[in-house]
Amino acid sequence: MAHATETTGTQPTRRDFLMLTTGAFGAVGAAAVVVPLISQLAPDAQVVAAGAPIDLDLAPIAEGQAIKLFWRGKLIFVRHRSKKEIDEALAVNIATLRDPQTDQQRTKPGHEKFLVVYGSCTHLGCVPLGSAPGEPKGEFDGWFCPCHGSHYDSSGRIRKGPAPLNLPVPPYAFTADTKIKIG
């Protein structure tokens, strides 16, 4: 029967075919089992649901003041910038920046006095200092991360230290003159 071809090995046998198809099915099956095992690590439905957009009234934030709030478990800074801080942010030659972005790209037109950024350092996730009065604001009048010494400017852009990126701007829109919806 098949003995002759098996011993010569010149031609695929029925046994080769069975080995390959069994192996392939086994591999696909094993991969399918891995899907739920890995997928359960992702944010669950409850965590995702807690990430719904939130409304924020900016009117109570005085000039020069910054507040902290959480959205999706992430810290967000909202800063009411002074004229001096805005001017400093605008004066920067963006070609010199590590993560080149203009101040206009990071604020909403007509609302340049408000800066909304994530409050976690893009290096390793510490909370940069500089929001509360008396905290060091770094060399560029923005924020200073105490963990590994990253300096952010008054537009939340990385200027010095190990962080690779600017503090990201979360998705938000103005719903009224002093009201925003984050998310």
Partner 1 sequence: MSGHSTYQPKTGIERWLDARLPIIRLAHDSAVSYPVPRNLNYLWTFGGILAFMLVSQIITGVILAMHYTPNAALAFNSVEHIMRDVNFGWLLRYLHSNGASMFFIAVYIHIFRGLYYGSYKAPREVLWILGVIIFLLMMATAFMGYVLPWGQMSFWGATVITNLFSALPVIGETIVTFLWGGYSVDNPTLNRFFSLHFLLPFMIAGVVGLHIWALHHVGQNNPTGVEVKDVKKDTVPFTPYATIKDLFGMVCFMLVFAWFVFYQPNFMGHADNYIPANPASTPAHIVPEWYFLPFYAILRAIPDKLGGVIAMGGAIVILAFLPWLDTSKVKSMTYRPIARQFFWMFVLVCIGLGYLGAMPADEPYVTLSRILTVMYFGYFVALAVIGIFERPAQMPTSIADSVLGGSGARLAHATASEPQAKG
Closest distance of CB 116 from partner 1, Å: 16
Closest distance of CB 130 from partner 1, Å: 12
User: Near partner 1 by CB under 8 A, which window of 16-24, 26-34, 104-112, 121-129?
Assistant: 121-129
d(CA 167, CA 16): 57
Six-digit token string for 132: 């509360």
Nearer to partner 1, 156 or 161 (CB): 161
> Residue 174 pairs with which residues in a beta bridge?
180
Nearer to partner 1, 86 or 126 (CB): 126
Q: Is 80 a catalytic residue?
A: no
Phi, psi (rounded to 5 degrees) for 4: -60, -50
Q: Check residue 50 and give left, alpha or beta (phi > 0: left; psi -120 to 50: alpha).
A: alpha
Do 138 and 87 meet the contact criterion of CB atoms below 8 Å apart? no
Residues 30 to 69 in contact with partner 1, rule: CB under 8 A: 38, 41-44, 47, 51, 68
Which residues of the chain form contacts with partner 1 (CB under 8 A)? 38, 41-44, 47, 51, 68, 70, 72-75, 119-120, 122-127, 129, 145-149, 161-164
